[in-house]
């Protein structure tokens, strides 16, 4: 009996061939890019901030300082082919990942348009989104898009969709090791031949005081 099933075959990367990180970008507490982060670390700058910059303490045991990211509300929706309503209902982590993916591709010396249709995977590590609950339950006027815009899978899928990537695309949640596991998964996929290249990222933002408090209590 003959079978009509067809299976995909992948060309494995030879063991002697190295896999490298060719581009990088990011945003960190009081550091808007990698260069600022490097300068701040080399100059031994304190990157922590008073939490009153973002919210008032709602509990006597709340931490008074934390690492705060700048410009978390700014986003060029039109540049990434999003409407204003979609952008407002999209998790800020997702928006920043789009921005820094573009920067990382440029940093690698690649034109983002050249990646369209390529077997490039996207692997994003993230373990919690406070935005999903806030927008979904407290902003009903957002017209349903938060169900998608604040879903964890969109952290990866939005990148694949925006840049036209045809490789595997998913978010991973392994708690504190999420980003590390995303890197390991990307390496495995490239080595096995399932991806020709990969975009790896990680995101974590505490936008609600009680989320910060819960992490503080761990």
Q: What is the pLDDT of residue 135?
A: 65
Say if 102 falls within a structural domain.
yes
- pLDDT tens across 25-72, in order? 999 999 999 999 999 999 999 998 888 777 776 777 778 888 888 888
Say if 13 falls within a structural domain.
no
The closest of 117, 186, 196 to 156, measured between CA atoms, is 186
| Strand ranges inside 8-72, DSSP E | 49-50, 65-66
Rounded to two decimals, what is the model's pTM?
0.86
Say if 172 falls within a structural domain.
yes
Say if 123 falls within a structural domain.
yes
What does each C-alpha distance from 187 to 90, 113, 116, 139 come to in angstroms?
A: 29, 23, 21, 39
- pLDDT tens across 104-159, in order? 999 999 999 999 999 999 999 998 777 766 666 656 555 557 677 778 899 999 99
Say if 196 falls within a structural domain.
yes
- Phi and psi (nearest 5°) for 85? -65, -40
Q: What is the pLDDT of residue 15?
A: 74
Q: CATH number of the domain that 177 lies in?
A: 3.40.47.10
Domain membership of residue 102 as a residue range? 86-217
Say if 104 falls within a structural domain.
yes
Say if 65 falls within a structural domain.
no
How many domains, the chain? 1
Say if 16 falls within a structural domain.
no
């Amino acid at each position: 009996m003959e079978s009509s099933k067809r299976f995909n075959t992948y060309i494995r990367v030879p063991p002697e061939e190295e896999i490298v990180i060719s581009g990088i970008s990011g945003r960190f507490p009081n550091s808007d890019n990698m260069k600022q982060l490097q300068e701040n670390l080399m100059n031994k700058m304190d990157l922590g901030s008073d939490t009153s910059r973002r919210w008032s303490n709602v509990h006597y045991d709340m931490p008074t300082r934390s690492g705060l990211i700048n410009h978390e509300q700014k986003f060029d929706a039109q540049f990434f082919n999003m409407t204003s309503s979609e952008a407002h209902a999209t998790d800020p982590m997702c928006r920043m990942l789009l921005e820094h993916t573009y920067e990382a591709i440029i940093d690698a010396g690649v034109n983002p348009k050249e990646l369209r249709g390529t077997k490039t995977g996207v692997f994003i590590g993230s373990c919690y989104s406070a935005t999903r609950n806030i927008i979904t339950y407290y902003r009903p006027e957002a017209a349903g898009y938060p169900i998608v815009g604040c879903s964890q899978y969109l952290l990866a899928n939005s990148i694949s969709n925006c840049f036209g990537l045809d490789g595997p695309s998913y978010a991973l949640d392994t708690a504190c090791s999420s980003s590390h596991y995303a890197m390991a998964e990307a390496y495995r996929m490239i080595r096995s031949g399932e991806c020709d290249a990969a975009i790896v990222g990680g995101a974590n933002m505490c936008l609600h005081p009680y989320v910060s408090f819960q992490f503080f209590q761990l």
